């Protein structure tokens, strides 16, 4: 199941739930954020939108690392479990993708407290 919630307009929070067969057990939450750092050109060693790959294999560019790779790994892990016949785990698993982590959470989690 997947829900999209907008506490702050245009800043969606995506919540995915995979129900476990023992829902009374504490759930597992895997959290990731979807935003990227602001573009301040003079603070970049490489152009932020270039996706520059250096000779040693490092990728430089806005949004190339950080939590996007973690979020994809979490989704891929669940996809692989399901493709191998694992239709349910003991515990319920939540995947959450939140906005505005890079700039302090004013439009992301701050409205909750």
In this structure, what CATH number is given to the domain that contains residue 87? Answer: 3.40.630.10
**Residue 91, in any domain of the structure:** yes
User: Average per-residue pLDDT in the chain?
Assistant: 88
Which segment of 30-34, 60-64, 72-76 scores lowest on mean pLDDT?
A: 60-64
Residue 108 clears pLDDT 70, i.e. is over it: no
**Residue 47, in any domain of the structure:** no
Higher pLDDT, 36 or 81: 81
Q: Output the pTM of the full model.
A: 0.76
**CA distances in angstroms from 76 to 34, 37, 53, 73, listed in the order given:** 16, 24, 24, 5
What pLDDT band is residue 80 in, cutting at 50, 70 and 90?
very high
**Residue 100, in any domain of the structure:** yes
Give residues with Cβ within 8 angstroms of 56, minimum separation 6: none
Domain of residue 18: give its range.
2-38+68-112
Element (H, E) at 5: strand 2-8
Percent of the chain residues topping a pLDDT of 90: 49
**Residue 56, in any domain of the structure:** no
Q: How confident is the model over 19-40, as pLDDT tens digits?
A: 999 999 999 999 988 887 778 8
**Residue 34, in any domain of the structure:** yes
Catalytic residues: 35, 101
Give the count of domains, the chain.
Answer: 1
């Amino acid at each position: 199941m997947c829900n999209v919630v907008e506490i702050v307009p245009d800043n969606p929070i995506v919540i995915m739930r995979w129900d476990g067969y023992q829902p009374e057990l504490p759930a597992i939450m895997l959290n990731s954020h979807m935003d990227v750092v602001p573009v301040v050109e003079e603070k970049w060693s490489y152009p932020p939108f270039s996706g520059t790959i250096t000779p040693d294999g490092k990728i430089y560019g806005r949004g190339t690392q950080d939590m996007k790779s973690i979020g994809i790994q979490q989704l891929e892990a669940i996809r692989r479990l399901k493709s191998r016949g694992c239709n349910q785990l003991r515990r319920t698993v939540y995947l959450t993708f939140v906005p505005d982590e890079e700039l302090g959470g004013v439009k992301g989690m701050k409205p909750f407290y």
